[in-house]
Structure 1
Amino acid sequence: MAVREKSKEKRNALLKATLDLVNDNGFHDAPMSKIAKMAKVSPATIYIYFENKQDLINQLYLELKMSYTKNAFKAFSEDMPVKKAFELIWYNIADYKLKQADEAWFLSQCDNTIMIDEQSRQEGLKHLQPLLDLWVRGQKEGIIKDVSPYILYAYAINPLALLLNFQKRDLYQLNQQSLDQAFQAAWDSIRK
């Protein structure tokens, strides 16, 4: 039992080191040797848990995507009115991004890189299905604009990443009033 727990600790240390290195230096300046050193394991240990760097990055992405979407859909019910459901999801996402800033920053970088393979990206998208289904329902009910879900996501969710980036660089401070304004702008951008 202790060996299994220690193994989980090493795997988690490798994931955390990867998260920190990628967030600080980018994907290409996070070599396996640095990851191993930060995780305090030998470089060969990485290959016990991951096939290669691509596998390590993909697994970290998928674990964080699951955590992100689990938080996003907390207290969500498919029978909620469209606006109320979207508001709940949007504020849950904002809460995650504010409280899990390192994880959110990593996921934001993943949205803008080719480092995540297509299979992992598609698997990550599956976790967002309740939001996509909500938008389809909203379109059928004449509440949401009849445009691609990618456009809806770009206008309604992606601005949060930009605002958090501004906050991280001390250019802007998010508070309840600015979050409420950001939500209203997100809703206005997707509603008919």
Structure 2
Amino acid sequence: MRHKDENKNEAIFQATIELLNEIGFSDISMSKIAKRANVSSATIYVYFENKEDMLGKLYVKVKEKMSRQLIHDIDDSMPTRQICEQFMRNSMRFILENRDYFFFLEQFSTSPLVDKLYLDDTASMFTAIHEFVEKGKRNGELKPLPTLFLLSYCYFPVTQLAKAHFKGEFEADEENLQQIVRMSWDAIKA
């Protein structure tokens, strides 16, 4: 059995993300990934059973990184409004600092592959933010709607601003982010 090199594993992941963002899921192959990562095709199979295994592990890795970033500097003692704002700021920071990861997640979430692979355990990565929202609902600070709805009003406006920023349509600056934060809070507050 060959020894696994963490640098090669990371090179394979990075090559996969780059290629997916360039050519999409339908055109990606293990040989293209190997070529981009400067490893042999056989080397990839030392690390992963097949393409689906690799993509699933990559998805989980990116989601873990994202989940840690989204709750950064948030704690239970903060008012719900401040938690929502920090969540939105953290989301924007993650997206802007990890553009390739963001676009990978966007593609993956709309791919039939996400349903094919068993990836339900990634929901547990976001337990903390769900608990903050639940607490806000119990305290009467947030509308008594499903948590997913409330979080959607905090996350998706940020993603739309980031996409517009990447296209050069809007600047993801403090002023625009603050407007989105205010609008989102107005939409979810009780």
Root-mean-square deviation (CA, aligned residues, Å) is 1.5
Selected match of 2:150 from 145, 149, 152: 152
**Superposed CA offset, 1:89-112 (max 9, x none):** 221111111111111221222222
Q: Following TM superposition, where does structure 1 have runs of at least 4 consecutive aligned residues deviating by more than 4 angstroms?
A: none
- 1:83 Cα deviation after fit: 1.2
Q: Is residue 2:67 matched to residue 1:69?
A: yes
Could you tell me which residue of structure 2 aligns to residue 107 of structure 1?
105
Does the 8 Å CA contact 2:153/2:187 hold for their aligned counterparts? yes
1:174 is paired with a residue whose SS is: coil
TM-score for both structures, normalised by structure 2: 0.91
Could you tell me which residue of structure 1 aligns to residue 28 of structure 2?
30
- 1:154 Cα deviation after fit: 2.3
Cα distance in 1 for residues equivalent to 2:104 and 2:150: 21
- 1:74 Cα deviation after fit: 1.3
Could you tell me which residue of structure 1 aligns to residue 9 of structure 2?
11
Percent identity, please. 28
**Superposed CA offset, 1:139-166 (max 9, x none):** 1111111112222232220222222222
Amino acid at match of 2:103: W
Selected match of 1:41 from 33, 39, 42: 39
Instruction: Mark the CA change 1:109 to 1:160 in structure 2 (over 3 Å): closer, same or farther.
Output: farther
TM-score for both structures, normalised by structure 1: 0.90
Amino acid at match of 2:104: F
Could you tell me which residue of structure 2 aligns to residue 163 of structure 1?
161
Unaligned runs of 5+ in 2: none
Cα distance in 1 for residues equivalent to 2:98 and 2:14: 13
- 1:21 Cα deviation after fit: 0.8
